[in-house]
Amino acid sequence: MKKNYIMTPGPVPISNEVLIEHGRPLIHHRSPEFSKIFVDVTDKLKKFMQTENDVFVLTSSGTGTMEAAVTNAFSVGDKVLVISVGNFGERFKKISTKFGLNVISLDYEWGEAANPADIKKAVEGNPDIKGVMIQHSETSTGVLNDIEAVGDIVKDHPAVLIVDAISGIGASELKVDDWHLDIVCGGSQKALSAPTGAAFISVSSKAWKQIDQSNIPRFYFDLIAAKKYTEKTPPQTPWTPGISIIAAMAKALELFFDEGREKVYERHRVNALAVQRACEKLGLELLVKDPRARGVSVTSIKVPESIDGKILTRTMRMKYGVTVAGGQGKLQGLIFRIGHLGYVGIFDVLTAISALEFALKEQGWKFELGAGILEVEKVFWENNYMSQ
């Protein structure tokens, strides 16, 4: 018998409590029963995101919120600065270009974090920009950007700051209001540990001023329509939402607050450290060289020249039941990514590293069997993980 484990940066494992809520009989989306759940989720998302701004739930993947941010906040021809440290920075460029924006790009090597000093210089050198876009946790590389510093740079500029926090929020600190973030994108299937198919987005008063002036055509992702429906009695969504997903999100948010924000962050930190140190112990090289820039949602590991990355990940999945992610964009075939966010703990990490060791051994990689597992145990023991 083979058990299956998902160790990707989304979707992530889901607790039984959340799955039970997801599997309950459907209720109508215009009913008082659903409205109560919808209001509860919206209120909890504000607390989750640490904001008093408007928050909306969209039935889409996280990319839907990225598109919504672009189509609502800008007009055709507006100049925007996109900071790119990986594949999802490139996605912001593609979306912006598709809708007729004038994109100025500040690019970094994939595996490096953005330098706030560079961003400050770019913003000051382009006083007419209408927006700045950046990733919090870049899912394709595992880099964590200093969003607090970026928020401090943009707060006094007319431009709105848009942050893709899809894989980072809920795993590591992100304070929407304190950090002056205007539009923040999140997804259900990441650190929140809910089913795929729902996303959420916060909007500041500064952003609303630009939204009111936007001339980009939009329909399904129209945040003005979403706001009007939330102001109804009872509050609603403009279109049929993912009813079961939102019900599951309510439970996932409840579990997040029951565990406690700081404990959740610490669990993610220890999970990430265990994976990173185990991989280094096995003689593998991490993509993100600077430990200070390594996020806690996903670890990217370089594929050694003597190893076939596709065979490695396929062996882990098909033979040992552990699904990890490959590289994206220009890193395809060059790295593999182990996710450790959401409903993930010590034994999930141990299982993933065990499968990695077996798959590496099958391709002749030289290391002492069990070295990675021992390193995981050391990290958890040294961080008093089991006593938390």
238 and 89, same domain (yes or no): yes
Q: Of 227, 257, 287, which residue sits at a domain end?
A: 257
pLDDT of residue 36: 96
pLDDT of residue 385: 65
314 and 379, same domain (yes or no): yes
Q: Report the chain's C-alpha Rg in angstroms.
A: 21
247 and 299, same domain (yes or no): no
Distance CA 12, CA 5 (A): 9
88 and 233, same domain (yes or no): yes
Secondary structure (3-state) at 82:
strand
365 and 294, same domain (yes or no): yes
Q: For the whole model, what pTM was predicted? A: 0.97
Distance CA 272, CA 82 (A): 28
CATH classification of the domain holding 118: 3.40.640.10
What distance lies between CA 91 and its chain's CA centroid?
Answer: 14
8 close to 167: Cβ distance less than 8 angstroms: no
What's the DSSP call for residue 294? B
267 and 252, same domain (yes or no): no
277 and 149, same domain (yes or no): no
Question: How does pLDDT run across 223-270, given as a tens digit for each residue?
Answer: 999 999 999 999 999 999 999 999 999 999 999 999 999 999 999 999
Per the structure block, which two tokens stand in for 341?
């966010």
- Chain position carrying tokens 């979306």: 95
pLDDT of residue 64: 98
| Cis preceding-peptide flag for 11 (omega within 30 of 0) | yes
Number of domains in the chain: 2
229 and 268, same domain (yes or no): no
- Chain position carrying tokens 């882990």: 316
Q: Of 257, 285, 308, which residue sits at a domain end?
A: 257
Average pLDDT of the chain, as a whole number: 97
Distance CA 65, CA 147 (A): 18
Strands 199-203 and 143-144: unpaired
Distance CA 208, CA 293 (A): 32
Task: Please determine, for residue 193, whether its predicted confidence score (pLDDT) is greater than 60.
Answer: yes
57 and 185, same domain (yes or no): yes
Helix pair angle (371-382, 261-281), 10° resolution: 150
Q: Of 210, 241, 257, which residue sits at a domain end?
A: 257
Task: Please determine, for residue 163, whether its predicted confidence score (pLDDT) is greater than 70.
Answer: yes
pLDDT of residue 384: 77
Per the structure block, which two tokens stand in for 134?
């950046």
92 and 201, same domain (yes or no): yes
pLDDT of residue 386: 60
| Cβ within 8 Å of residue 12, ≥6 positions away | 6, 189, 190, 191, 193, 339, 341, 342, 343, 344
314 and 232, same domain (yes or no): no
pLDDT of residue 301: 98
Distance CA 244, CA 272 (A): 31
- Interior/surface letters 12-47, b for 16+ CB within 10 angstroms, e for the rest: bbbbebbeebbeeeebebeeeebbebbebbbebbbe
**What is the band of 1 on the pLDDT scale with cuts at 50, 70, 90?**
confident
**What is the band of 56 on the pLDDT scale with cuts at 50, 70, 90?**
very high
CATH classification of the domain holding 348: 3.90.1150.10
**Domain residue limits at 157:** 16-257
279 and 209, same domain (yes or no): no
Task: Please determine, for residue 62, whether its predicted confidence score (pLDDT) is greater than 70.
Answer: yes
Question: How does pLDDT run across 89-143, given as a tens digit for each residue?
Answer: 999 999 999 999 999 999 999 999 999 999 999 999 999 999 999 999 999 999 9
Q: Which of these, 192, 123, 120, lies nearest to 149 by C-alpha position?
A: 120
Strands 335-339 and 79-84: unpaired
pLDDT of residue 27: 95
- Chain position carrying tokens 């590293």: 353
HSE on the CB side for 193, CA within 13 Å? 29
Question: How does pLDDT run across 11-35, given as a tens digit for each residue?
Answer: 999 999 999 999 999 999 999 999 9
Per the structure block, which two tokens stand in for 191?
């650190």
